[in-house]
A = this chain, B = another copy of it.
Amino acid sequence: MDTRKKLINSAKRLFSKKGYYETKVSDIVADAGLSQGTFYIYFKSKEDIFKELVKDMSEKIIRLLKEYASKEDDIETIIKNATLDFFRIMYEEKPIAYIFMFQLIGINEEFRKLYFDKNRRVRELLNNIVKKGIEKGNFSYKNAENIVNILMGYVRIVYLEYLLKDKASLDEILNMVNEGIDVILKGVKT
């Protein structure tokens, strides 16, 4: 594996485990089996590699949502499938997802802004999907933004309480999410 990749992987694991400030550059290079200096060949600074992780993650999520947004299926199916797929990605990318969803917001002012920036795109895409559902007359509750709130809030908390903690297998989690989304959609429809 190439050096840069090694650093990215170590950074991912460590940032996610110990947080941004408690992860030292020296930890990352030690974990990657490299020397301090090597880090700075590939990344300008500790901030730099962190932002790269965040960028990778948000791009992955946005790509997923875009794909689903363009599908012509029934809206409820789209929402459900997108959510389940989303959890699959989260599962594969557990550390980085944690960084993205739970560390970024709290680190400092600059990173909080970055979080809201990246997050806006995600909300927009989800909003468009939900709006389509409203336009098609599927939903009786018409406030798309608030529906997005319920959906995204639910997803976030399930990630935090189940996926991150390895409290349940991916399948068990997907089952639970399946039910959860059903409940939410039922509420929205009636």
Contacts and interface: CB of A to CB of B under 8 A. Distances in A.
Contact of A183 (B20, B150, B165): B150
Interface string A138-175: 00010100110110111111101100010000000000
B109 A106 contact: no
A143 B155 CA distance: 16
A186 interface: yes
B158 A153 contact: yes
Contacts of A153: 150, 152-158
Contacts of A86: none
A30 to B, nearest CB: 15
Nearest to A156: B153
A135 to B, nearest CB: 18
A155 B17 CA distance: 26
B156 A22 contact: no
A179 B109 contact: no
By size class, the interface of chain A is 35 or more
Nearest to A22: B108
A180 interface: yes
A144 to B, nearest CB: 12
A40 to B, nearest CB: 12
Contacts of A22: 107-109
A109 B187 contact: no
Contacts of A146: 176, 179-180, 183
Interface string A113-157: 000100000000000000000000000010100110110111111
A129 to B, nearest CB: 17
Contact of A188 (B17, B183, B185): B183
Contacts of A149: 154, 157-158, 161, 180
Given A103-B105, A106-B107, A146-B176, 7 more contacts: A19-B112, A20-B21, A103-B106, A105-B106, A156-B157, A182-B187, A187-B187
